[in-house]
Structure 1
């Protein structure tokens, strides 16, 4: 009987496609039972994107498979995108597994990497997953641009001091008073630490507020990857004079 481990993952977006953690575990257990495989352990990452390998249980699994203590012959997953959506990352993992002499089995796609056909099919599926991910990026970019052109908030966390009403940024007056006071205190030379203590927030958050040019009434979104270059006017909270003075204090 071959020893295998299972890997399951879910992100908030994947809950809508009937691949819950429970469903994945059930399918893996059933597959192992039908194919006379000894399921040693199931590694589980919840609420984590597959964009990179910075996933605690994924890392634990790979570390274990590469260790001398491992007697595992394969990994069983419900679907290959539970591991990686990026073809580059997926093939990199397969190469590493080959060094460990560990095969990969995907239940839904009906392949395993112990065969040449399985490897070919894996690369094809990986290509489609990568294509799908790029389409999502393009749709997101187009959606942000469309909203930006209409001067609508394109998405993301709302800055302290503002509310989002009908996709427009409006002033949250209670929070805006705190923002104004933070700038005034800094203009007087009061340290980030003391300001943070007054409002029970982190020093880093105080610094972020003081550097945020949104309070000048100018919203800009570049996007490190998307390069959207969205910009439009929003209600101002801080004057240019106060902003400049607060940020000149050493």
Structure 2
């Protein structure tokens, strides 16, 4: 039996395009999951599929990166599929592990896919470092202006104001007050160690 596995990374995305391609390839049953592909152990639907398949089944995916994000994970998953007596097939990369040549191509493509992801990560790190050197602030903007944050911190450390009261006073969420206090402690701690 052909068993499909479709995955998207976030709840906002849908697996419809993958499912359509799998059905067009003759897949009868599709396991769909909305999880990051970072770790196979954190994907319950993948685990369910791997424990369901048996001899004569073929696991079909639209693309290799839908089932694994690293070559190591990919090889472990394929090993589990083969241990169950099943085979593996990817529609996009035209990989079929039923033959020695297919298994070799599968490992080569998996290695290149992992290499490409590492290049993207490296370019992202370099880009973020360059932006930081130019003074670009990373992450989401703070909820309060610098002057409001400084005043809120002064009131907090003077005592007499709760975090909830400060949040209401500055029209923000209590978590913004907590983050401001945490940032203050992170700035002050290194200076205390330098002074010692």
TM-score by length of 2: 0.74
User: Following TM superposition, by how much is the alpha carbon of 1:51 offset from its aligned partner in structure 2, in angstroms?
Assistant: 2.1
1:2-21 correspondence runs (5 A): 3-11=1-9, 21=15
Check the 8 A contact 1:195/1:206 in 2, yes or no.
yes
Q: Deviations over 1:24-71 (max 9, x none)?
A: 111111111xxxx6x1x212223x432222234223323434xxxx67
| Aligned-pair CA distance for 1:119 | 1.0
Q: Which region of structure 1 is more displaced relative to structure 2, 128-137 or 101-110?
A: 101-110
- How many Å separate the matches in 2 of 1:187 and 1:71? 70
Q: 1:116 aligns with which of 70, 78, 100?
A: 100
Aligned pairs for 1:114-153 within 5 A: 114-153=98-137
Structure 1 match to 2:79 = 95
The reply to whether residue 160 of structure 1 matches residue 148 of structure 2 is no
Alignment of 1:55 onto 2:43:
yes
Contact 1:5 1:72 in 2 (8 A): no
SS of equivalent to 1:114: coil
Unaligned regions of 5+ residues in structure 1, if any?
162-170, 217-239, 245-250
> What value does the CA root-mean-square deviation take over the aligned residues?
3.4
Q: SS of 1:212's equivalent?
A: helix
Structure with greater proportional strand content: 1
Deviation track 1:91-140 (CA, whole Å, cap 9, x = no partner) reads 11111222222211111111222221111111011011011001101110
Distance (whole Å) between structure 2 residues aligned to residue 130 and residue 86 of structure 1: 5
Larger helix proportion of the pair: 2
Residues paired across the two proteins, number: 183
* Unaligned segments of structure 2, at least 5 residues: none
Judge conservation of contact 1:77–1:105 (CA < 8 Å) in 2: yes
Deviation at residue 172 of structure 1 after TM alignment: 7.1
